[in-house]
Amino acid sequence: MTKSFAITKLKATGQAVALASALLLAAPATHAQTPAPTITQIPSTAKWSERMALSVLKRSPWLQDPALGDSWGYTQGLLMHALEALEHQTHDPRLRTALQQYGDKMVDAQGEIHNKDYKPLDNSLDNINSGKLLFQLYTDTKQEKYKIALQKLHAELQQQPKTSDGGYWHKKKYPSQMWLDGAYMASPFVAQYAAYFKEPAGFDEAAKQLLLLEKHLRDPKTGLLYHGWDEKHVQAWANPQTGQSPNFWGRAIGWYGMALVDVLDYLPAKHPDRPKLVQVLDQLAVAIQKYQDPASGLWYQVVDKGGQPGNYLEASASGMFVYTLAKGVNKGYLNKKYRPVAQKGFDGITSKLIEVKPDGELNLLQVCEVAGLGPGTERNGSYEYYVGERIKINDLKGVGPFILASLELNK
């Protein structure tokens, strides 16, 4: 590995707390608390998706320690989406309990989202991602609070600031900026809301956002997409001619790929933008395959600079690319030739970036903790910035895509 496991291990301080924050699913005070699941051994014969999900539940003392807190963060939403997809296949009651209790904890009887991390006035696309779970919770329980919360999130997006051509700002504090990350946070929710509540204008909006990102961020030479675009061309990280950030960050491109295949789940077959999105996905798949590391099957933190000092094979981007390719093939959007590419990538994750403990618990190594652009000069989009960000074990931004990728390859 390009980054040693020892270094990664040292940087894992606080992982139990971080995971507990994601899965502190304490029931409301008015209900009896469901006993926490006790998982002592994870069978090696189970599928990778199940082994990882059980590992999350095993190492996260969520119900045992309610003082650890919880979050409406986008990373928790990603994990919940993965657990929901797994529960649909396995019908494991432990997963159903976790999902229901997360909803109960986050959304009160009046449909208000009560969490210190949820600040609607920030106009942050990150606020939206956890809302994806609420569609299933409303379907299952018919509790009006989930419908109300969904409507509030949708209304929040109606107030999202936009660029002059209608693209969502990533956050209000990032004026006139579109980031690839926001594609996954918002567009699948908008498309699912349109399908669920029969409001077809949402299909147009979801597709428009993805097409605008491709228009402003795709590099025709590599086929890859830059992380962010500044319409005003004034940010320290922005190219003064194009407004684009200077590098191809793996996870940012991964967010975009996942958004494409997820939005296509809901977009009507005859929607005029559907073939455009399929074409964008196909172009992206070409680039993903082109920059796959031939030896490991994985992808680098800065995708096109694999041989440069400090770069490393990164778990979250690799999982996201595998999911994008595998789901694209399964749904018929992509040529079947990409299935072996996805399988090689997944095999690379399990052989290079997974540690199996004696009790069967899995650790996912080499996950970039976070990366962004501005507002100051430190997050400047440079190569040195991306490879210098902290690396963690079991960061949910890697765990969630790993579960989703495994599920797609099992189909």
Residue tagged active-site, from 181, 262, 293, 395? 181
360 phi-psi bin (left φ>0, alpha ψ -120 to 50, beta other): left
- CA distances (Å), origin 201, targets 8, 170, 178, 193: 45, 21, 21, 10
> How many Cβ atoms sit within 10 Å of the Cβ of residue 379?
18
How many angstroms separate the CA atoms of 224 and 204, rounded? 24
Rounded to whole angstroms, the Cα distance separating 40 from 60 reads 13
Cα–Cα nearest to 334, from 277, 256, 405: 277
The rounded distance, in Å, linking the Cα atoms of 245 and 263 is 25
Alpha helices, H only, 143-273: 144-158, 181-196, 201-217, 250-263
Instruction: Report how far apart the first and last C-alpha atoms of the chain are (Å, whole number).
Output: 30
- For 339, the token pair is 């299935």
Task: List, in sequence order, every residue forming a beta bridge with 392; answer none if it has no partner.
Answer: 367
Length of the chain, please?
A: 411
The whole-angstrom separation of Cα 169 and Cα 179 is 8
Task: Give me the phi and psi of 260, to 5 degrees please.
Answer: -60, -55
The C-alpha atoms of residue 212 and residue 237 are separated, in whole angstroms, by: 20
Mapped onto helix, strand or coil, the DSSP state of residue 306 is: coil
Contacts of 90 (CB under 8 A, 6+ apart): 50
Phi, psi of 355 (to 5 degrees): -110, 130
Q: Report the distance separating Cα 45 and Cα 51, nearest Å.
A: 9
Backbone φ, ψ for residue 307 (5° rounding): -90, 0
Q: How far is CA 399 from the centre of its chain?
A: 10
Does the annotation mark 126 as catalytic?
A: no
User: Within its chain, how far is the Cα of 346 from the centroid?
Assistant: 17
Catalytically annotated residues? 181
